[in-house]
Structure formats: structure tokens, C-alpha cells
Structure 1
């Protein structure tokens, strides 16, 4: 299946964000402890990883729900980026979430 440039970029950003959020949560946050493992923050990171993965999957299957999922994904990515920025020492996650949110907002519009 062939995707337009906008869709391909969004899928790529969603998959990258999913991988980075999950990896950061289990490899960085658990090791760092403290605020990094606060239930709200840790759960948000895992939720972000899963919603990004789901968003990419819906787009790859050309689902009629993908635009709705992109809107939700953008909202969760923005929240995750803000939370990670506030905690600090998570620049890769902030960058990935921001790129994904921007790409998803564009897809949802």
C-alpha cells in the first residue's frame, strides 16, 4: 500500500515516539527513580507509547478512525512532552513527542 508523504511521515513519527517513550520509561525512568517513576508520569509515558503505536497501526491499515486517533495521539504526546520537560533529563522523549504531536495535528486537520 502506498501512502502520501504526510501519512508516511506521521506513521514514522508515531513509531519513533512509541519506541522512544517505551524505551525511556523502562530503561531510564526506572533507573533514575524519584519523579521519573511517579505513577502519573510513568503511566503517561506508557500510555503515550501505546497510543502512538495504535495510531500508526490505524494509519497503516487506512482506517476511517485514524484521523480521530491522530487527534487523541497529539493530545497525549503534548502532555507527555510537557511532563518529560518538567521532570528534565529526557530530551529525546520531549523531541519525539513534540514531532509526533505536530505530525498528528496536521493529519487530524
Structure 2
């Protein structure tokens, strides 16, 4: 069974956000240090990467829990986008989080 177009867009947004958060945290943030590796920010980025990956997986499997998880994913993506926007060099990650937030809110509705 193929995913519906809106669901496929959400899966793609979640996958992109997972990659952006994980890669940015483990390359850019660790290299720059300072506020980029403060526990609250760094933990949020790792949480965002993890929930985005799980959200994509649940959607791909057709899980009945996917819409509820998408709602939580949207909240975490929002917080991560805000946190990233406050730091230098985090624009791509913030954009990925915002796109995932919007897509997940549509799927959760």
C-alpha cells in the first residue's frame, strides 16, 4: 500500500528533519561548542532527531498511533526550531524543523 500524498510529504519532512538534526548536532554543534552544546539545546536536537525518525517509521508501517505521535513530533520540532534559530549556523536545521512541524500538524489533525 502506497502512502497518501500528504503522508508521503510528512514522511519526507520527518526523514529530512531527522537527518538535519542529527547531522547538525554531531558535526556543527560539537565543532562550534559553547551554547551549541549546552545540555538543553543538544538534548532537544537529539530528541527531535529521534522522534522524527520514529514518526516516519510509524507512518510507513500504517500504525494507528502515527497521528498522535505526529502531534508530539510537531511540538518537539517547534521547540527545536526556536532553539536553533537563536544560534549561529543553525538555519538549515531550523528550516527542516519548521517544515516537519507544519507537516506533522496536518497529519495529526
Name the TM-score class by shorter chain. over 0.9
The residue that corresponds to 1:36 in the other structure is 36
Tell me, in whole angstroms, the C-alpha distance in 2 between the residues paired with 1:7 and 1:88: 32
The residue that corresponds to 1:88 in the other structure is 88
Kindly provide the CA deviation profile for residues 50-76 of structure 1, in whole angstroms up to 9, marking residues without a partner as x: 000000000000000000000000000
Tell me, in whole angstroms, the C-alpha distance in 2 between the residues paired with 1:88 and 1:11: 28
Tell me, in whole angstroms, the C-alpha distance in 1 between the residues paired with 2:51 and 2:21: 11
Tell me, in whole angstroms, the C-alpha distance in 2 between the residues paired with 1:13 and 1:3: 14
Deviation at 1:97, TM superposition (A): 0.1
| Greater Cα shift, 83-92 or 40-49 | 83-92
Deviation at 1:87, TM superposition (A): 1.8
Tell me, in whole angstroms, the C-alpha distance in 2 between the residues paired with 1:68 and 1:91: 28
User: Scaled by the length of structure 2, what TM-score is found?
Assistant: 0.98
User: Scaled by the length of structure 1, what TM-score is found?
Assistant: 0.98
The residue that corresponds to 1:107 in the other structure is 107
Aligned residues: 109
Kindly provide the CA deviation profile for residues 4-24 of structure 1, in whole angstroms up to 9, marking residues without a partner as x: 110000000000000010000
SS at match of 1:87: coil
Alignment of 1:1-109 (within 5 A): 1-109=1-109
Any unmatched runs of 5+ in structure 2?
A: none
Deviation at 1:88, TM superposition (A): 2.8
